[in-house]
Amino acid sequence: MRVLKIKVWQDSAHFRVPHTTRTLQTLPVPMFSTALGFLCTPLGEDGRKRLLEGIQLAIYSRHTAGFEDRIWHRNMSIKQHLGRFGSRESRLADNRAEHPGGQSPVTIERLHDVTTVIYAICDAGVMSELERIFSDGSMSLSLGLAEDTVLVREARVMDFGNDPEPFHGKVDFFSWLPERNDGKGLPSNYGEFFSRIPGNMRLVSSRYSIVNIGGVAVRDFTYSRCKLFSPRGLPVSFTEQYSFYIDHAEKIPLWFAVQGEVAQ
C-alpha cells in the first residue's frame, strides 16, 4: 500500500470550530475539509479531481501551548455606522476618530508550535506530483487561517509492503478516529477498538459541493462521524490484537477515513 505523507510545522495555527463567533474556538487538529483544501491548493483542476477520487485521509496534530489573540472585526455596514456615529459624515465617538462602518471585538484561540502530519491514499500520479511540489518548497502554503503559513518538514510517498501489525504504547497526537471501519488497513475488530477509546463524537466536515439556495451559492459539506482522539495509550486486547499500518518514525498507527462522494 502506497501512502503520501506530508509533515508540516507552524509557529501558530487556528483550526476553527464551526459556528463560533465572538470567541473563535480552535480544534487541536484540522478537519478533513481543511486538509483537503491544503492538498488541493497547489494542484490544477484536473489534479484536484483525480486527488478527490476515492481519497482516504488520516490526520495527526500536536502543539506545545495555546494562547489567545484579541482583534477587531470590521465592516462597512451603513446601518452599523449610523448606529455608532449618528450620521454618514461622522466617524467620531467620544471625540476620537474610529474606523467607518461597524466593528466588534473578537477573541481567537490559537495553538503554538504546531506539528501536523497528513497521510493520504489517492491517485498514484497525484501522490508523486504532490511529493514533488511539497518537497521543493517553492510555494507559500497555509493550513488553517490564511496567515497560518507552514514549513514543510517532510513530503514523501511511503510504501507499506507488509500487513498491518499490532501497535502498543502511547500516541502523542490528536487525531480523528473514524466511526466507520471501511478505511484501508483497519483491523477486523476495529469496532471493539473504537468503542474502547474515550472521546467526544463530532461531525467532521469533508468534501463539499456547491448548491444554489434562493439564488445564493453555498457549500454543502459531507461529514464523517469521528471521535476526537487525544494523546493516550491505546487499549490492549487479550483476545485478538489491534493491528494497523504503522509509521514507526512518528510512532503513529494509521486509521484512515474514507472521504465520501458528494452530489453532482
Question: What confidence tens digit (pLDDT) does each residue in 222-252 have?
Answer: 999 999 999 999 988 878 899 999 999 999 9
pTM: 0.89
Cell output for 62: 500536536
Average pLDDT over residues 162-171: 90
Residues 6+ apart with CB under 8 A from 4: 119, 120, 121, 122, 127, 130, 131, 155, 156, 157, 158
Pairing of strands 201-213, 216-229: antiparallel
Give just the sign of the alpha carbon dihedral 78, 79, 84, 88.
positive
- In this predicted structure, the answer to whether residue 68 has a pLDDT above a threshold of 50 is yes
CA distances from 111 to 20, 40, 42, 74, 120 (A): 17, 24, 25, 24, 24
Average pLDDT over residues 136-161: 92
Amino acid at 213: I
Residue matched to cell numbers 464551526: 18
- In this predicted structure, the answer to whether residue 260 has a pLDDT above a threshold of 80 is no
Amino acid at 218: V
- In this predicted structure, the answer to whether residue 264 has a pLDDT above a threshold of 70 is no
Q: How far apart are the first and last CA of the chain?
A: 30
Cα 202 from Cα 223, distance rounded (Å): 9
Is pLDDT larger for residue 94 or for residue 173?
A: 173
Average pLDDT, the chain: 92
Q: Can you give the pLDDT at residue 127?
A: 95
| Architecture field, domain 2-68+112-258 | 2-Layer Sandwich (3.30)
Domain coordinates in residue numbering, the chain: 2-68+112-258, 72-104
